[in-house]
């Protein structure tokens, strides 16, 4: 069973491989990270780890038994008991319930380990898989937004008292 791990420097090679292998797949439903992300990956990773050390973000990777990254699940903009949730699963691992189980786990960690009480998420209307994951994991649709110029939907989940569901 894949394991959700807090991002560490030694994840770098597998994480970069994951991002490169799935770039086109992700770009079909979420904004592309851009060439700059890949060109300065080591610097970006150091910046993300510094944000994590400061407690303003928590970055996680979903890894298989061999150490390959199957997905990412991140909590960003942590403040005042809340954070924004983002996740992505590798194309070859999609459709197996990994996103749902990883989001459930991150909700538990958000409440139990990080002391959060509210998570926000957003996705595009055409990303049916992401909308389904959010619905299955207790997020409620709250409104509309723009995501890199595209229409988006916003979601919210309160963690108080129900984080173990």
Per-residue pLDDT at 27? 87
pLDDT digits (tens, 9 = 90+) for 48-65: 999 999 999 999 999 999
Per-residue pLDDT at 165? 46
Structure tokens at 125: 């209307």
Mean pLDDT of the region 140-163:
88
Please, what are the domains in the chain? 3-158 (3.40.630.30)
pLDDT digits (tens, 9 = 90+) for 72-130: 999 999 999 999 999 999 999 999 999 999 999 999 999 999 999 999 999 999 899 99
Which of 3-12, 88-97, 99-108, 143-152 bottoms out in mean pLDDT, i.e. has the lowest?
A: 143-152
Per-residue pLDDT at 85? 98
Q: Average pLDDT over the chain, rounded to whole?
A: 94
Mean pLDDT of the region 129-158:
95
Confidence of residue 161 (pLDDT cuts 50, 70, 90): low
């Amino acid at each position: 069973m894949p394991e959700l791990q807090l991002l560490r420097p030694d994840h770098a090679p597998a994480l970069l491989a994951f991002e490169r292998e799935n770039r086109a797949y992700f770009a079909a439903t979420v904004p592309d990270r851009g060439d700059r992300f890949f060109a300065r990956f080591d610097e970006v990773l150091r910046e993300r780890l510094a944000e994590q050390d400061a407690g303003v973000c928590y970055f996680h990777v979903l890894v298989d038994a061999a150490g390959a990254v199957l997905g990412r699940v991140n909590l960003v903009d942590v403040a005042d008991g809340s954070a924004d949730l983002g996740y992505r699963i590798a194309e070859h691992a999609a459709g197996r319930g990994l996103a749902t189980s990883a989001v459930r786990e991150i909700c538990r960690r958000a409440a139990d380990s990080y002391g959060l009480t509210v998570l926000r998420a957003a996705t595009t209307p055409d990303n049916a898989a992401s909308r389904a994951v959010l619905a299955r994991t207790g997020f409620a649709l709250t409104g509309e937004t723009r995501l890199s110029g595209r229409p988006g939907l916003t979601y919210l989940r309160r963690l108080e008292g129900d984080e173990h569901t």
